[in-house]
A = this chain, B = another copy of it.
Amino acid sequence: MDQAETPEIAHTHVVFDDGLLLDSGAALGRLVVAYRTYGTLNAAGSNAILVCHALTGDQYVAERHPLTGRDGWWAAVVGPGLPIDTDRFFVICANVLGGCMGSTGPASPRDDDPATRWGTDFPAVTIRDMVRAQKRLIDQLGIARLFAVIGGSMGGMQVLEWAATYPDAVFAAVPIATAAYHSAQNIAFNEVGRQAIFADPDWLGGRYWQHGRVPARGLAVARMVAHITYLSEQALTRKFGRRLRGNEAVGLVEDIFEVESYLRHQGSSFVRRFDAASYLTITRATDYFDLAADFGGDLSAAFRATRARFCVISFSSDWLYPTAESRAVARALNRVAANVSFVEIASDKGHDAFLLDEPDFHRALAGFLAGCAEHAGLAG
């Protein structure tokens, strides 16, 4: 596929010229963190909420996306009067390290040759590396302690990592639809997506940038398989069942079920906003994630220093990050006598429920934040 050059967008960002040392041992000479904020930081700097985005999300949480023109991915949750109330809180979201929406990633200029991009030479990053980059931004914004860190899926991994790595900088933590490690099944699904990218003729051994190509078909397949894992069987059936598209003749090649057409659309629209090398970098980061392993195999040990209040949230039909994995996080927190609530939201929408209109979830989130705000002495 010929590359329709991604329009260059001026993302709000900060540059750290001293770079960042990564878990892998590699050092980035220059670190850019692109971010968006909503609401107003109070004089005490005590009302900041960091929202952490998921695998294919970005910092455009609650506004029109500059590339797709669509609403922000959490427009139903973040805004005036919404569960994360921007009349009350100062909300920050940063594009993750390794991403492709303005933060340093595979599409960024190389340290050793700024005229070319990193591509697949970009060093491997971890969830902790992402969190370290966010911490630099938070420091830069003059915020000593976040009122809350909140995120779903890979965003929830970042929440857990914040609590473990910067225990004094987090007053409240809300890991949603997530786990303390990536399961073998999740690694396997990610690997299918990566192999689909490598199989694309326009992958060109990872040098697609240099040839003005993008491995669009492979990336679309990767998105398709991931998308299935985000939905429950019930949600797929409700949306599509076994309905056929129109009266098309039965054939080998054409998509004939509505679900196929939907998946193809998901795949093809994704490639217009996402870079394949970023997809590899970020899926790898989730695969590496195993918080207990960094603490001698004891998940509780990761939370020993935290004084944060936790609200761990799962969804009953999420089979990518099942409730049992959230419960394991809650148990580990209990073992160190942390302040933790655990809520399983009854939903048939699967993993994606955290992005959708789920009133019970929104009520639980708003209620938890209101209680924490009271304890933090934030004016109502």
Contact = CB atoms under 8 A, between A and B. Distances in A.
A124 B198 contact: no
Contacts of A192: 192, 221, 224-225, 228, 263
A224 B206 CA distance: 21
Interface stretch (A42-50, A72-80, A180-188, A307-315): A180-188
A60 to B, nearest CB: 26
B198 A196 contact: no
A260 B206 contact: no
A191 interface: yes
A166 interface: no
A332 interface: no
- Interface size on A, as a range, is 35 or more
A175 interface: no
B122 A188 contact: no
A151 interface: no
A263 B188 CA distance: 8
Interface stretch (A138-146, A276-284, A363-371): A276-284
Contacts of A10: none
A7 interface: no
Given A185-B228, A290-B242, A319-B319, A191 B263 contact: yes
Given A233-B185, A236-B185, A237-B183, A252 B191 contact: no
Nearest to A228: B188
A58 B237 CA distance: 31
B195 A220 contact: yes
Contacts of A198: 217, 253
Contacts of A181: 242
Contacts of A280: 252-253
Contacts of A259: 184, 187-188, 191
Contact of A199 (B196, B242, B253, B284): B196
- Choose among A196, A224, A233 the residue with the greatest number of B CB atoms under 10 Å from its CB: A196
Nearest to A190: B260
A279 B293 CA distance: 41
Given A187-B242, A199-B220, 17 more contacts: A120-B252, A120-B253, A183-B233, A183-B236, A184-B233, A184-B236, A188-B236, A189-B225, A191-B257, A191-B260, A192-B221, A195-B263, A196-B221, A198-B217, A200-B201, A201-B201, A206-B252
23 contacts: A181-B242, A182-B242, A183-B237, A183-B242, A184-B259, A185-B237, A187-B260, A188-B236, A191-B255, A191-B264, A192-B224, A192-B228, A192-B263, A196-B199, A199-B200, A201-B201, A206-B252, A225-B225, A242-B290, A250-B284, A252-B277, A252-B280, A252-B281
